Each structure stands twice: as C-alpha cells, then as structure tokens.
A = this chain, B = another copy of it.
C-alpha cells in the first residue's frame, strides 16, 4: 500500500499526548503513513456523536483509508475490538456501536474481531487500547497484513439504532429531531434533502411548515448569510441534512435547543 492514510476520531481532547502516542506507534511500524485528525473533540464517551461524525466524514477520503475510532468508555472490560471493511474503507474501533453510522446501507460489509495478540503492544495496558491494540493494527494494515489475519469474521457486532424520522406519507408529516450541533451552533436534523424534496413534490400546494419549540418556519433559505438574525431559519447544510440556523449567531444559544429536540414538518 503506497502512502497509506489513517484517520483518527477520538474523545481525547487536544491537551494530552494520547493522539501523538498513537501516531508514534503507527510511525514505528510504517514511516510512510499519513495521519489525518478528523477530530479529538467528540463529547466524552459519546458513542452516538462519534458514529455520526465518522459516517459524515469517511467517504470523502480515498478508498481503503483506515479509520481508527477511540471512543471507548468500557476500555479494559470484555468489549471486543473490531476491524471492519465497509464500502471500500477500513475501520478499526471498539465494538460498542461507534460504527453504527457506517453500518447503515453498506454496499459491502465485512466485520472481523481483532484477536491476534501478537500484533498488540506489550505490556498491554487495561486503560489505553487505542495505543496498545488499535494503533498497531492500523500500522500493520498499512504494511499489507490481510484483514483476515487479525481474527475471525463475526455478525453479532453492536449496531445502535440511530434516530430516524417518523414519516407519515398519507398525512404529509415528518417528525424528526436534532441529532448534531456543530461548533457554529447550527442545529443539524435527521431529515435529509432527498426525503424533503420527495414529500414537497408529492404535496398539494408544494408548501411546508416546520414547527420546533415555539417557532414555525415556512421558508427554505439557501445559505447562512440569507438567514434572519435572532430568529431561526431553515436550510440544507453541507451534509444535505435539514439544519436550523441563525445568521451570525449560534442557533443553539439563541433558541436554547439541544440534541434530541423534536421538530415536526408538515407538507401542505
């Protein structure tokens, strides 16, 4: 594998040396590796957030990039470590659901348990398997070790159900929720542009009303600078998901909404 790429998605924060030590372990195995930090600021132990961020990121990378995820609240316990080949990318992560976003609609999927201890760092700690298991497995993958060499194929991996919108096509209604808040404070929902366009097309007057908290929004904007100041606006963000946004401000702060906030979309 020439000039291999590895990504890191963790909840380490940026202050400690944990990410650097994982890079060191990989460089010790293969000096040619390029490591890209997706983020180290996943909310502490927030498996669902890691899952969403990874699902929205991995496909921009070249095929056969190796994506390492370390959001691992039960490190040291019996939870397994996984090596998955999905949609022509490789994933190395604990079996706690952090890959759930990637498990959705896979074109091809192959999940292996990591069992081949001779690839692990010694002594194996019980508190930092990112360094002792995941980093060396990623390193050896870049050296051409086959996926099958690390352990048996399994089917019973943990697949968390990501919140999906409730759709009532007859009544032209969708009940979704806020599933992600970016650091600009934009509120990202689980309603996709494809769903929205399809139901708007099918509706009688090709109009809609979105209700969230005390607010009703009837218009779709195209970009942030078009949005109103101090009151919520709707647009499709960079992941083609419906977003609630406030111009030049944090929608989260102005509106006071958090993840899990429900919203109801009615097509008229």
Whether A259 sits at the interface, judged by CB under 8 Å, is: no
Contacting residues of chain A (1-35) with chain B, CB-CB under 8 angstroms: 2-3, 5, 7, 12-18, 20-21, 23-25, 27-28, 31-32, 34
Whether A104 sits at the interface, judged by CB under 8 Å, is: no
Contacting residues of chain A (180-225) with chain B, CB-CB under 8 angstroms: 182-184, 222-225
Contact A76 B226 (CB under 8 A): yes
Once A31-B5, A127-B224 are accepted as A-B contacts, the answer to whether A39 and B15 lie under 8 Å apart by CB is yes
Distance of A41 Cα from B41 Cα, bound (Å): 14
Distance of A5 Cα from B36 Cα, bound (Å): 15
Contact B226 A77 (CB under 8 A): yes
Contact A225 B73 (CB under 8 A): yes
Whether A253 sits at the interface, judged by CB under 8 Å, is: no
Q: Which of A53-61, A148-156, A161-169 is the interface stretch?
A: A53-61
- A-B pairs with lowest CB-CB distance, top 9: A76-B223, A128-B238, A24-B60, A15-B41, A13-B183, A24-B61, A74-B225, A20-B38, A15-B183
Q: List 20 A-B contacts (CB under 8 A).
A: A3-B32, A5-B27, A14-B14, A14-B39, A15-B41, A16-B39, A20-B38, A20-B57, A24-B61, A24-B62, A25-B60, A27-B36, A28-B62, A73-B224, A73-B248, A75-B223, A76-B226, A123-B240, A125-B236, A125-B237
